[in-house]
Amino acid sequence: MMKRLLAIGLILVIGYWLANGLAGVPFGEDRMLVGQYYLDNVKQQTGAINAVTAVVVNYRGFDTLGEVTVLFIASTGVGALLWRRKKERTAEVEGSVVLTTGTKLLVPFVILFGSYIFIHGHLTPGGGFPGGATIATAFLLLYMAFTAYEIPHKGFEKTEGVAGMSYVLVGLIGLAIGGYFLFDWIWQTWKIGTVGELLSGGFIPVIYMLIGIKVGTELSGIIDNMIKEGVSE
Amino acid sequence: MNAFAITGEILVLIGTFFYMLSALGLIRMPDVYNRMQTSTKSATLGSLGVMIGVGIWALGTDFGSVAWFTKTLVIAIFLLLTNPISAHALIRAAYRNGIPLWEGSVVDRYREHMEAKKEEGDEE
């Protein structure tokens, strides 16, 4: 009881302190310094309509590369923590007929929609990470509905590595052509496509396709690792 | 104000009314199964009304286009297909975890079926 009261008091003090700090920030005013530059130049500099993905992939591509690395380390870490020689699914009850049939019908559509999200990252909200997470949801559905389902491991883990390497490779091509890492060589040198159409946005769709595939396979791998239990031989 | 806009507005109104009924059913009904029954059905219907209504409403305004209607139609079909499945999975999981029926219920054929199946399994 005493502990709880102390914790509530501490949280209230911290909350008051944060609110006091935020009270000095005026809302509803134009406070953009760098933001205005992005909004003014995003179309001719990157060819993308979606300013967020342009900033994330193009202006600040290093952050995205770091995020992809974080996800990769998380996936590898889960794999290392839960490593056992022999692991099997231990689920006992198969999903009901309604669930399995529904899953069978829905999974292709979920994968299609995930691909739609990451292919259109430069035009509509979304991008590689939400698209990849949607694809992983499809595999989670399969794991939940069927007791015996397993992702094709060999293909999945290789695809993941190849996608991650291709991202760095695209950046290195930029380094060779433009002089710095993650230089947008497709848009800056060739200007392919008109702004607002699918075939535009420089290397944003390319990179987002790679990230989508990578995130999708990675999260599926994490699900696979966590859902299995060790079997004593 | 034209026919599209008016139809859309009426559909949205009907949809929100069914949303309200669904929330009311959650409070009013005695056990899990009855609550799922009232809330999923009316929430699905309410969502369909609201979404299709928004699509048709957008057809009637000067900034809207067919793209809105297409999108809402796709979302509505997706929801129509997935909502019953999720409700089914929830109820089945609830029953298998031994959540009791309302004390007023009179017949439980599923339990009889499962017990019969168990006995068959023992005999073999």
Paired with A230 in beta bridges are: A87
The pLDDT value recorded for residue A232 is 66
- Decide which of A85 and B93 is more confident: B93
Q: Tell which residue, B100, B76, B87, B72, has the closest CA to residue B40.
A: B87
In angstroms, what separates the C-alpha of B79 from chain A's closest C-alpha?
Answer: 11
| Subunit contact A96:B89, Cβ cutoff 8 A | yes
Nearest Cβ partner for B85 among A93, A102, A109: A102
Confidence class for position A185, pLDDT limits 50, 70, 90: low
Cα separation, B65 vs A174, in Å, equals 40
Q: State which amino acid sits at residue A37.
A: Y
| Subunit contact B85:A98, Cβ cutoff 8 A | yes
Region A112-131: mean pLDDT is 89
Sort out which chain B residues have CB atoms less than 8 A from A95's CB and list them: 89
SS3 A88: strand
Query: pLDDT exceeding 90 applies to what percent of chain B?
Result: 31
- Decide which of B2 and A231 is more confident: B2
Cite the DSSP H helix spans in A59-197.
Answer: 61-81, 97-119, 128-145, 153-178, 185
- Decide which of A140 and A24 is more confident: A140
Packing angle of the helix pair A153-178, A61-81 (nearest 10 deg) = 150
Assess contact for A117 and A138: CB atoms under 8 A: no
Task: Tell whether the model's pLDDT for residue B10 goes beyond 90.
Answer: yes
Cα separation, B1 vs A228, in Å, equals 58
Region A172-199: mean pLDDT is 73
* Average pLDDT of chain A, as a whole number: 85
Confidence class for position A214, pLDDT limits 50, 70, 90: very high
Task: Tell whether the model's pLDDT for residue B68 goes beyond 80.
Answer: yes
Nearest Cβ partner for A99 among B78, B81, B88: B88
What are the residues of chain A with a beta carbon less than 8 Å away from any beta carbon of chain B? Answer: 93, 95-96, 98-99, 102, 105-106, 109
Confidence class for position B124, pLDDT limits 50, 70, 90: very low
Query: pLDDT exceeding 70 applies to what percent of chain B?
Result: 95
Region A108-130: mean pLDDT is 89
* ipTM of the modeled complex: 0.79
SS3 A152: coil
pLDDT tens, residue by residue, A66-105: 999 999 999 889 888 887 777 777 777 777 888 899 999 9
Residue written as tokens 């595939």? Answer: A213
The pLDDT value recorded for residue A179 is 66
- pTM over cut 0.90: no
Confidence class for position B1, pLDDT limits 50, 70, 90: low
Q: Which of residues 49-108 of B touch A (CB under 8 A)?
A: 78, 81-82, 85, 88-89, 92, 96
Cα separation, A70 vs A68, in Å, equals 5
Task: Tell whether the model's pLDDT for residue A121 goes beyond 90.
Answer: no
| Subunit contact A102:B82, Cβ cutoff 8 A | yes
pLDDT tens, residue by residue, A17-57: 999 988 877 777 777 788 888 888 888 888 888 888 888 88
Q: Say which residues have a Cβ less than 8 Å from residue B100's Cβ, sequence separation at least 6.
A: B31
The pLDDT value recorded for residue B123 is 57
